[in-house]
Amino acid sequence: MPCACHSLNLTLCDMANSCSKAISFFGIVQRIYILFSGSTKRWKVLLDHIPSLTVKGLSNTRWESRIKSVKAIRYQAPQLRLALSELSKICDDAKSKSDANNLFDALGSFEFLLGMVIWHDILFAINMVSKKLQSASMCVDSTLQQIEGVMQFFDKYRDEGFASCLTIAKGLAVDMGIEPSFPIKRNVTRKKQFDEPNNDEEVLKAEKAFEVNYFLVLVDIANVSLKTRFKELKVFKNIFGFLLSSKDMKLLNDVELRKCCAKFVETFSRNGSCDVELDDLFSELRLLQMTLPESGLPLHAMEIFEFVRDIDCFPNVLIAYRILFTIPMTVASAERSFSKLKLLKNYLRSTMSQERLNGLATLCIEKDKLDEINVDAIIDDFASRSVRRISKF
């Protein structure tokens, strides 16, 4: 099954590589971080000018780094430009001085400021959903609601977002003493003829080209990717939909319920065998429809599973819910675990046994449960057993 969170991250990757302007934008963002983080002296200059957020570098695996790196510039662009100006004056080496001057000019571009505002809005919306999808209680129906909400945001943003971003960017440009307009490629210095366009028309053409070739491209890529993931997840809702909510389950009549059970069994059958028996699953769900407690709010999948597990009278329903919960909405935990393993087993520890590696991986994956264990009591118990064993011999 496609991971929804991973799909959103791929959407970010597609947008970041969508055009030359996007590649150039993130290149400037990364160069700002590299310049200041290259020495403690330059970092001190940065801290003297910015109030709160420090610049962040980009990462190929931690997708949240993109919104953090853009956010640090989005809300501190004037202060950051002052830091670059001071850095260009105090730097001793020619390379750092040249980089500071080039980045100072880059932050003085109105196109960069407008692109920064657009990227912040898009990345913020996707990152909010991406973080939500990493919740341990996230399920198919909740995932669909979150992705559908982002799709509606981008539909509205496509029509109204560019005008609002343009207004914000012009305000930033005025505060920074920058001309809030797009550069004109051709300035006519001689006397104009009656059929030649004026500068205002050229500016409008540049603004329209930026909107069509940059803004709309980013929004459309995000929308198409999200709609593709939404359709893929709808397929799984058609399979598990009757298990996701007590309200949906109770609204099904016998014919509809049996049809849902048959589709579920057919999907998870292999060589004519399935862990769930169709007739028993249908009978158990009919009984469960009347057994589920009546409350103000409908029960979600996890709450129904806990209710069925405590009763311990619906074995097939219990298996069906366990199959449902094996479908991951995010691979964030697995990605963190593998990243941790790369730190544990490297070329200096190449002889680590597989058994020990599996144990360390389990400790990392089940960190929440590990935190609940009283490690001191286990160590004391192990020490006392060792003392008794030694005294015995």
DSSP string for 74-127: HTTHHHHHHHHHHHHHH--SHHHHHHHHHHHHHHT-HHHHHHHHHHHHHHHHHH
What would the pLDDT profile of 124-154 be if each residue is shown by its tens digit? 888 887 777 776 666 777 778 888 888 889 8
pLDDT recorded at residue 81: 92
What would the pLDDT profile of 317-329 be if each residue is shown by its tens digit? 999 988 888 776 5
pLDDT recorded at residue 116: 93
What would the pLDDT profile of 199-229 be if each residue is shown by its tens digit? 566 667 778 888 888 888 888 888 887 887 7
pLDDT recorded at residue 29: 92
Q: How far is CA 227 from the centre of its chain?
A: 16
User: Is the model's pLDDT at 196 over the cut of 60?
Assistant: no
Q: Three-state DSSP class for 300?
A: strand
User: Is the model's pLDDT at 91 over the cut of 90?
Assistant: no
Gap between the Cα atoms of 86 and 65, Å rounded: 26
CA angle 115, 119, 122 (to 5 degrees): 140
Beta bridge partners, 270, equal 273
Helices (H) and strands (E) in the chain, counts: 19, 0
pLDDT recorded at residue 28: 92
Average pLDDT (177-197) is 65
Average pLDDT (108-123) is 91
Gap between the Cα atoms of 170 and 230, Å rounded: 36
Predicted TM-score (pTM) of the model is: 0.72
Closest CA to 100 of 196, 175, 35: 35
